[in-house]
Amino acid sequence: MGNKQNDTIGGMMKKRTARKPVTVAEPMSDYDKLMVEYLRLQQQFLDQQALIGSMAQDTLADPITGLASRKTLMAEIEKSLSTAQRYGRQHALVMVEIADFNNLQERLGRKVGDGILQHIGRLLRQNIRPTDIAARLEAGRFCVILNELKALENAEMRSGAISEIISQTPYMDEQRSVHVLAQVGCCLFGADDDAEDLMRKVETLASASGGKVRM
């Protein structure tokens, strides 16, 4: 009996005192360390490239409308000037300004204001040729390069069509329909013109248009 109890107690003690095997991590080899560092640097590079791409996209395109940015527009004007100088071609620059846009956005709210801008952006894209460039400059101000036009009359006709489609196509959401007035300025340009001078000229024409196309 005594021996049996001793055996039982001894067995329990062995179970209690038995230790689980300890796993000891082997030190990383130099190769493994290099691979870990390589993967870390590779991920860092990819993250930086993604950030650079995002920043570049932000500077090239307007984030609200998806149209070209002012920076892109100025570069495209320079390209058009170059073709005018090289081949004697004529182009037109059109400024489209939404009348009283800042007050309109303040009254209706930022969400509706952004919706109106996106609406105008869609109308411009739908009513220009693939060779033309549409951009948003700031607030309710847009610009279009009409490339390779034959005459002033052609520029005036196309500018008038842009003004008319914007004025006759209201922005609509679940609660309201908003009509806007487009003030449009347009000027032809060729080999002897300057990009900054052109911008100032069409801005002046648009501001003075009173809802009609000023040439």
Better-scored residue on pLDDT, 113 or 8:
113
pLDDT in tens, 163-207: 999 999 999 988 889 999 999 999 999 888 999 999 999 999 988
At 210 the pLDDT is 64
Domain 70-214 class in CATH: alpha beta
CA distance 212 to 168: 13
> 120: helix, coil or strand?
helix
At 23 the pLDDT is 57
Banded model confidence at residue 33, pLDDT cuts 50, 70, 90: confident
At 31 the pLDDT is 80
Better-scored residue on pLDDT, 3 or 191:
191
pLDDT in tens, 56-115: 455 789 999 999 999 999 999 999 999 888 888 889 999 999 999 999 999 999 999 999
The domain limits of the chain are 28-60, 70-214
The distance from CA 132 to its chain's CA centroid, rounded to whole angstroms, is 18
- Residue 97's beta-bridge partner residues? 141, 183
